Amino acid sequence: MSNQPMSFDIKKILEFLPHRYPFLLVDRVQECIPGKHIKAYKNITMNEEFFQGHFPGNPVMPGVLMLEALAQTGGIMMISEIGSKEGKMFLFTGLEKVRFRNPVFPGDRLDMECTLTKSKFHIHKMEAKALVDGKLAVEAEISAAIIDKEDF
């Protein structure tokens, strides 16, 4: 694929990710250089199902879902490099150096970035971060694998 930055709307995101409501956590890809770097976002609304229980009267986005949103963002970056998810699965394989810096609330826009730092065989490592209004919400090193579905 090209080194020219691309952007993806929700229709294209749905082609890359198997996730669907309520677990699809990427609304738009603003910039993607396949297999290298991606910038995307998720609009956080009070309508998110997880706010019913996390926490009533004080809604905060769960940290594990911020990490899942980053993993999905990284998945889009890697799948866009091979051009199709047909016959492939992108699996989250690990987290390192996770730091939660600021909470995320309804009405926020979670801006996410992933940069590929290392690939060896089918394992890919990324630096990932999510921000709200330019303030760091979470950062982590994410590892993931692209495998053939038939091997799963």
* Strand stretches in the chain, DSSP E: 6-8, 28-33, 37-43, 88-100, 109-120, 123-132, 135-148
Q: Single out the residue of 31, 29, 103, 12 nearest to residue 65, CA to CA.
A: 103
122 labelled catalytic: no
Active-site position among 19, 37, 54, 122: 54
- Residues annotated as part of the active site: 54
